[in-house]
Structure 1
Amino acid sequence: MTLGTVIPRTLLTWIGIAVLSGMGAVFAWNWTAASANWVEHTLVAQRQFSMLLSSAQDLELGQRGYLLTNDTVYLEPYERAKSSIDKIYSDLAVLVEDNDEQVATLKRIRPLIDQRITIIEDSLAHMRAGRTDEALAVPKSGAGKAVMDQLRSEIETAQNKEISLYNVRQDAFDRQKFWLLAALLSTLIASAGLALLSLIREKERIASLEQSSKTLALVNRSLERRVTERTEELAIERDRAEAEKERAEGLLRDVTHRIGNTLALVVGFLNLHIRHASDPMSIKTLTGARSRVHAIASAQRRINVTNDLDLVRIDSLVESVIGDLAATMNDDNIEIKVDIPPLLAAAQVATSLCVLTQEFVMNSTKHAYREGDKGLITVQLAKADKGSVLKITDDGRGMADDDDDGDGEEADEKDGREGLGAQIAKLLSRQFNGEISYQSVTSDAERPGTQVIVTLPDLKLTVAADEPHVDLEKAS
């Protein structure tokens, strides 16, 4: 059993003692007050009996003065006593109504008072009538004295009983005062003990709070130390991650640079073959191959990788590749417009999408317009409910029956053979599970225009946020 469990039990004990002592003090106070009231009641009764006896004596005093002097002035004590006796008697009847013996005594006193008044009135009547001898004979007869002696005896008996009651009640009052003092003292002792115990409890609580504060301070310092250590570890890990990222970016730049150099070398070899070739068909074939390799090199060189090194800005990439194509065409009559919102695509499919787009743009530049015609080719790429949609629209002569796809190979409809460009476009679109369709733009007979719609269900595009990216071309 610890001090923490002992103190609450002791505290409850002292609280119980204090409550009981307080209740005892209240009870003792009420008891003592009741005893004091009874003592006072007895004293009042004694005083009333004394007043009753005094009034009876005043009756005789007034009678004697008047009989001796025949002067009515001496009847004043008699008249005053006679008028006050009834009130004194009524007050006594109320005071002793709880005491049967005193009630019986009062009942014996009343006839004696009335009898004594009757005797006195008889003598006074003789005196007023001038019969002095007869008036004096009444007191001398001794009848009045006998009644008065009996009355005095009854009143003294009642007074003695009140004195006895007073003594008993005074003793009870003294005892109750003792118990009241004892209860008050017990209450004070219990209150003092309770206060002392509360003080001990408060000191213990303060000590516990101080100990808790010290423990909390130690834990806080420990946590701060751990947070500092963890922050340093995270800083080291962050620096390490940044270093790894920089290394990965450097490696990616190096790979891109090497691929670009390799493709540039291939383009150089194709240029050599074109310069040494004499057959027009071979020159067209080599020129088409060079354009496609150049598109791949252009896309690879211009890939801008975002911070996660997995996505590229496909809008700027397609615009750059088509811009390179327009520069190699050296034809101011044909305007190529790229209308693609900021989108992100996977880096591994970006080159294929650029080559696919270039195939359709090249096809439009070669077949949609006659030599010297002016026109506008629009490239659009957007997200769809399922995947993406690529649209290449021109305002040229429409879907003319032209068997040459511009790659130096003629399409033979009789044996179902397609041109090389169409085959490449189909192969690239299949990479995205795509389908190719054609439709006229207007009803103009001369220049209805053509729109190529390529649905690409497996091409997932993401709206680009305003975030920094790695420009591999500039970095290399």
Structure 2
Amino acid sequence: MSRAFQKQAQRFIMGLGLLPVLLAWVSFRTSSQHVASVEATLSADEFIRKLDEVLSTIQDAETGQRGYVLTGDDLYLAPFTAAMARLPQEVRELDRLGEANGLSARDTKALHDAIHGKLGELNATVEARRTRGFEPALAIIKTNRGQLYMTEIRSDIAELKARQTAAFASKLEAQRRNQAQLETVLVIGVALAFLLVYLAYRFNTLYNQERDLVERQIRELNDTLEIRVQERTAELEAQTRELEKRTSELQRSNADLTQFAYVASHDLQEPLRMVGSYMSLLARRYEGKLDETADRYIQFAVEGAARMQTLINDLLLYSRAGTEEVEKRPVPAERVLQAAVKNLDVPINENAAVVRYENLPVVEADETKLIQVMQNLIGNGVKFRKPQVAPEISVTAQRLNGDWLFTVADNGIGFEPAYSDRIFKMFQRLHGVGKYSGNGIGLAICRRIIEQHGGRIWADSEPDVGSKFYFTLPVARDAGEPLRTVNNIAEPAARA
């Protein structure tokens, strides 16, 4: 295909892409303006109707007042009472519509004052007729205050209607203009559509001509291309062999690194124990005999040695998780969970935690390693608790194709979903050491163990709601019983 035709095709495709986009933008803009004009027109009309409605309600109240003053019969108060109940809501709705039509509180203040005065006059007249008789009520009416208020109300409403009628006419004219613009855009759109069809036909004709030329060129180049493919295949095979060699070297390097970490951690334990023991001895023997700063420094050293000891132990666990052979056999997950809970007996009781499980199956796994996984996940649920809230951890399982999918859920502090992968990496902590203990290795150990079993592990969490950890294990055989709770842990009912 020639470069000239390629450039022509590119320009044509760009034109095809830009024209509909431009048309869509113009149509959207025009339609939006039209919709806005229609809404403004309807709003102005609704405001005018609401003015008439408020005036009618006040007149209803005045009619009820006059009937009651003349007769003293409560039956005539029905229109008055109904109007007085409706009027506050109608005035609030009038204010809302006025604000939507560009009126401020200052524009409607005179009307508000007149309505307030009229309502006061109506209530005073009715109350005078009810409590003191006809003459006092008539005296209030003869002051003509009510008539003056009604005259002011009618005048204010007429003025507001005149302003809104003028605005209504302006908005209606804008609506007509937008309608005309929309029709123009639609006509242009139809014309552009016909133009695009014609251009597409022309492009297709040119494309077919160029395609025939390219097919002839391809047939001529087939032999040369086959030779190049063979050469490239040979190069790829050589690269594959080199990649396999480097992969093997990397695996050996990783194995050596893991062994080094194990040996280094193991050899560090004895001198670290000695440092910790002597520092603890110094703390006991000289506590209070030195100054406060010295006591504090000794305490820092004791705590640092303890943290280092914990870190080394965690590193050893991580190293063993990757180097020790996995001895798989059918293992009841119920027994694994009970062992993990027993190991966590102290923190569970200290935090009044509740651990529940239901219908746990038998899986194909290394029991010792699986206990470590359960212990780490449940321990996290107990450790990362919300203040003043007892931890609740549930462990469930369900079949997922050829695996068991386990879910360990808690009601703790949770974490942002963005960290759901980071937490499974070595030394990754989301909280400071001073707030929550640990070295950020536990979940990395869990991932290594689960992957050794051919499974997967991941997490889902929401801050202040809790976390759910999922992992899969191969199926050995089905097992499961109903749930009952015993001593902080939900256990299956005893077998008959």
Scaled by the length of structure 2, the TM-score of the pair is: 0.40
Higher relative contact order (CA 8 A, sep 6+): 1
> Whose radius of gyration is greater, 1 or 2?
1
Scaled by the length of structure 1, the TM-score of the pair is: 0.41
